[in-house]
Structure 1
Amino acid sequence: MSPPVIPLERPRRERADAVRNRLHLLRVARRLIAEEGADRLTMDGLAAAADLGKGTVFRRFGTRAGIFRALLEDSEQEFQRAVLEGPPPLGPGAPPVERLAAFGRARVEHLAANIEVVGQSRVDGHGEGPLGSFSVLHFRVLLEGVDLPGISLDAVAVLLAAAVETPLLLTLDRHDVESLPGSVEDLAAAWEALVRRMVG
């Protein structure tokens, strides 16, 4: 059984025009971030670039950090769909060890690609969404298929989630992911070696 997709915020019913506006705003926000950087994105700038009223942006996101939380939720759900429904080894169909290795590598790459968005989503103190919760649930399910006698699988799942989430999340105040001790590829390779030694 696979864990469910975990939204960072409670889903709500939306009118069709509200859904269209949300998707349009997220597309424009991504373009502005790519062109100018996350630090330069403002509520006014997003409204102007999207050709929508400032009130629409405020009603949709509430705060500037809310824009980034919406972007993060959108990318997080896309990542979770790849894990739950995509091709193996990240998706179903591969042995547990292969899926664990693939998950960690993909997770590090995903967090690195979204690190500015994650950081900006937390600037008003309300962005502590359950980023690691999906990882813990997914690891716990996969560990059912691994022989680890006498060890709490819940505890192992928590430790694995900390290992794959923490190195990048601790650098949220930095703009350059390459300033990490080791590159993203180094972290991904270290994860794979760790998993294969532990449960391979």
Structure 2
Amino acid sequence: MGAQRQERADAARNRRAVLQAAETLLAENGFDHVSLDKVAAAADVGKGTVFRRFGNRAGLMRALLEERAVMLSEGIVSGPPPLGPGVPPRERLLAFLDALADLATRNVALLAAHDRACAEDKFSDPIYLRWHRHITTLLAEARPDLDAEFVGHTLLSMFDADLVRHVMNDGGVARLTGSLRDVASAFLGAPR
């Protein structure tokens, strides 16, 4: 039993070290210079540890983004309104987009790396699927006449890291958040 606890503590320490190393390398050098070999060396763990835990760069970027997305996910399920349950779907959708914009603007380099790492399989990425499912559910409640699945993809496409960076450089966070709300509100307008 004691050996099992020690392994879990070591695994947790290694996971934190790998994620911190990946984040540091990403911030300093950009996505193209973040290899699992470099991450393992920077984290002072074996290359096999990184491969077993994360599989590939996409898995590593997904884990980094997931760390940031946990609080958002918890807020959706059980947080206070307007992000959490208890308010009309329109208010929840706008609150979710605000929260997602905040996450994106604070983590634009990570978002870009995640976009690139998961580019070939973006629509089956667990984080994307969770966010899309939430948006689609809210849209379907607010506007049953819409193609909620398509509109959900459309709204999430506005979180493309290059677009986020461009809008932030030409109007800041307020422009990004305001524009997202405007687009979502247009979709939520009167039924066709």
**Given the two structures, how large is their TM-score scaled by the length of structure 2?**
0.70
The root-mean-square deviation of aligned C-alpha atoms, in Å, is: 3.3
Q: Alpha-carbon deviation of 1:178?
A: 1.6
CA contact (8 A) 1:107 1:164 kept: no
Match status 1:89 vs 2:82 = yes
Q: Could you say if the C-alpha distance between residues 132 and 178 of structure 1 is closer, same or farther in structure 2, counting changes exceeding 3 Å? A: same
CA distance in 2 between partners of 1:160 and 1:35 (Å): 36
Q: Matched residues in 1 for 2:117 and 2:61: separation?
A: 5
Q: Write the letter of the residue equivalent to 1:160.
A: V
Q: Quickly say closer, same or farther: Cα 1:133–1:119, change in 2 above 3 A.
A: closer
Q: What is the DSSP-based 3-state SS (H/G/I as helix, E as strand, rest coil) of the residue aligned with 1:168? A: coil
**Aligned residues with identical type, % of pairs:** 34
Query: How many aligned positions are there?
Result: 177
Partner letter of residue 165 of structure 2? V
Residue 81 and residue 178 in structure 1: after superposition, are their counterparts in 2 closer, same or farther (change >3 A)? same
Paired with 1:25 and 1:177, the residues of 2 have a C-alpha distance of 26
- 2:180 maps to 1:191: yes
User: 1:187 & 1:55 partners in 2: Cα distance?
Assistant: 40
Query: Which deviates the most, 176-185 or 98-107?
Result: 176-185
Q: Specify the code of the residue in structure 2 equivalent to 1:18.
A: A
User: Does 1:121 find its partner at 2:110?
Assistant: no
Bigger fraction of residues in helix: 2
Task: Assess, with a 3 A threshold, how the Cα gap between structure 1 residues 19 and 36 changes in structure 2: closer, same or farther.
Answer: same
Letter of the 2:72 counterpart: F
The residue aligned with 1:18 is 11
Aligned partners of 2:153, 2:60: CA distance in 1, in Å?
26
Q: Tell me, yes or no, if the aligned pair for 1:72 and 1:117 is still in contact at 8 Å.
A: no
Alpha-carbon offset, residue 101 of structure 1: 1.0
- Equivalent residue, structure 2, for 1:77: 70
- How far has the Cα of 1:166 moved from its partner? 1.0
The one-letter code matched in structure 1 to 2:153 is: A
Cα deviation, residue 179, structure 1: 6.4
Instruction: Give the Cα–Cα distance (whole angstroms) in 2 for the partners of residues 64 and 195 of structure 1.
Output: 32
2:4 alignment counterpart? none
Aligned residues of 1:105 and 1:188 also touching (Cα < 8 A): yes
* 3-state SS of paired residue (1:91): coil
- CA–CA distance in structure 2, aligned partners of residues 161 and 82 of structure 1: 19
The Cα of 1:84 is off from its aligned counterpart by 2.1
Partner of 2:149: 158
Change (3 A) 1:52 1:121: same
Which 5+ residue runs of structure 1 have no aligned equivalent? 1-14
1:27 maps to 2:15: no
With structure 1 as the length reference, what TM-score do the two structures score?
Answer: 0.68
Further displaced range: 180-189 or 53-62 = 180-189
| Bigger relative CO (Cα 8 Å, ≥ 6 apart) | 1
Check conservation: 1:132, 1:161, Cα contact below 8 A.
Answer: no
